[in-house]
Chains A and B, each alone.
Chain A
């Protein structure tokens, strides 16, 4: 669980300043949350540049709507929810585009409650990326990319970002039980596709 605790009071203070029009206070919040936001967006998108764009858009959107933030949830939860939503929307656009491209079409894999479009792991044989860890990471990312958005988000938020179930349920606005079952399915799917790619785990 990496850096899970955001001190609630600190964010509150700066959020209040922002709501009174203090732009510099917002900069503090950007500094504080940009890395986490970028990582969430990056794992959802699987693309660094796209992730950067999404993080920017998410911060702008947050700034525009900061007066609408009533403090029911933590500010970070609210902020990450924006980021996840934007990522999800962006992904949908990208997916639609990719599906029209013949090489990007993956083999649909049947799982218990539907289909998961399985993208073959991108096997860029770029000489610089020959390091094995890089290779494995790319494969894992490829498996995550193969997941449907709802499973992917839960997996990222839980296993990568280490948010608690109730935080995730607040961000995604789904009940905790749903978070649990999605997580289970997401893990199973990643396990299966990793097995398929790497042979033995």
Chain B
């Protein structure tokens, strides 16, 4: 075995990592070769030197520093994961707390405001209830109104119901009625006077009612008798006139030698109708033609052929 080959294997030889056969060959060579022997010794020493290198101790802070970084890394990772997968993980408690705070705050504010709100509402309530009784004395001091209120209450009530009655009648009553009620409202007396006023009103309305019954058209129709040359065109003319004047329920009844037209017409148009009928034919008979009432009035027009 040559020196170069032996020296190549010395490293392995040193660690006893050569086969027994090779070890025997190297051993044999080393016995006779000073150079290789020396190389082995040097190698041994070198390895010794290297192995003798002292170990160094890690600084005390190393673990802490590593763990601090690891923990912040873990936190950051968690943070990202939470942001992606649990966007509400931390926010929900926060939002819930915020919501509760807002709710509590709102309730507290509401409660602390309530007395003020009652104070603010009270006068409005009085004014709503009081005006009918108060109307004339509106300028009065509030305290006074409050004092007056209890005795006024029954009268007021009475008045109110009465007013409603009046309102019910209005559509059928005479034109005067609403005017009168309005007048009464204007002149709404103080609490004490209310009662008598109500009585007065009652009487008045009953009077109106009786008036209304007298003008009821169905029972008493105003009767006209017209003499015309020819019945047919006159009938048409009459019907036309009635329609123009807003007549309703126009009913034409043709008999042998005369035609009877029944209709309802606004009493205001009565005069006009009278004039128009005079143009169509000779007014023979008129009954209560001058009687002008309120509302619709029934009319009966008889068309007769002029006697030759």
Chain A residue contacts of B63, Cβ below 8 A: 27, 30-31, 34
CB distance from A146 to the nearest CB of B (A): 13
**Does A155 interact with chain B (Cβ within 8 Å)?**
yes
Chain B residue contacts of A38, Cβ below 8 A: 56, 58, 62
Of B8, B58, B73, which one neighbours A64 at CB under 8 angstroms? Answer: B73
| A56 engages B62 (CB within 8 Å) | yes
A residues 136-170 with Cβ under 8 Å of B?
136-137, 140-141, 144, 155, 159-160, 165
Chain B residue contacts of A94, Cβ below 8 A: none
Chain A residue contacts of B70, Cβ below 8 A: 23, 26-27, 30, 59-60, 63
| B53 engages A141 (CB within 8 Å) | yes
Taking CB as reference atom, which chain A residue is nearest B59?
A52
Contacts known (A30-B66, A64-B73, A187-B11); A35 close to B46, Cβ less than 8 A:
no
A residues 53-96 with Cβ under 8 Å of B?
55-56, 59-60, 63-64
| A137 engages B65 (CB within 8 Å) | no
Contacts known (A23-B74, A26-B70, A191-B42); A180 close to B50, Cβ less than 8 A:
no
**Does A171 interact with chain B (Cβ within 8 Å)?**
no
Interface size class of B (residues with CB under 8 A): 20 to 34
CB distance from B65 to the nearest CB of A (A): 6
**Does A195 interact with chain B (Cβ within 8 Å)?**
yes
A residues 1-57 with Cβ under 8 Å of B?
2, 21, 23, 26-27, 30-31, 34-35, 38-39, 42-43, 48, 51-52, 55-56
| B69 engages A140 (CB within 8 Å) | no
Which secondary structure characterizes the binding site on chain A?
Answer: helix
| A194 engages B49 (CB within 8 Å) | yes
Interface string of B69-87 (1 = CB under 8 A from A): 1110110000000000000
**Does B51 interact with chain A (Cβ within 8 Å)?**
yes
From B10, B49, B57, residue with most partner A Cβ within 10 Å: B49
**Does B17 interact with chain A (Cβ within 8 Å)?**
yes
Of B10, B42, B73, which one neighbours A63 at CB under 8 angstroms? Answer: B73
Interface size class of A (residues with CB under 8 A): 35 or more
Assembled-state Cα–Cα distance A50/B95 (Å): 48
Assembled-state Cα–Cα distance A63/B69 (Å): 10
| B62 engages A60 (CB within 8 Å) | no
Of B17, B50, B56, B71, which one neighbours A48 at CB under 8 angstroms? Answer: B56
Taking CB as reference atom, which chain B residue is nearest A158?
B15
Assembled-state Cα–Cα distance A172/B10 (Å): 23
Assembled-state Cα–Cα distance A35/B93 (Å): 45
| A184 engages B66 (CB within 8 Å) | no
CB distance from B68 to the nearest CB of A (A): 10
**Does A118 interact with chain B (Cβ within 8 Å)?**
no
Contacts known (A56-B66, A56-B69); A191 close to B43, Cβ less than 8 A:
yes
**Does A129 interact with chain B (Cβ within 8 Å)?**
no
| B58 engages A184 (CB within 8 Å) | no
B residues 167-205 with Cβ under 8 Å of A?
none
Contacts known (A23-B74, A195-B42); A136 close to B49, Cβ less than 8 A:
yes
From A63, A137, A160, A183, residue with most partner B Cβ within 10 Å: A63
| B66 engages A59 (CB within 8 Å) | yes
| A140 engages B50 (CB within 8 Å) | yes
Give B residues with C-beta under 8 Å from A. 7-8, 10-12, 17, 41-43, 45-47, 49-59, 62-63, 65-67, 69-71, 73-74
Give A residues with C-beta under 8 Å from B. 2, 21, 23, 26-27, 30-31, 34-35, 38-39, 42-43, 48, 51-52, 55-56, 59-60, 63-64, 136-137, 140-141, 144, 155, 159-160, 165, 180, 183-184, 187-188, 190-191, 194-195, 201
User: With contacts A39-B56, A51-B56, A56-B69 known, what are 9 further pairs, Cβ within 8 A?
Assistant: A23-B67, A23-B74, A26-B70, A42-B56, A60-B69, A63-B74, A140-B50, A180-B17, A191-B46
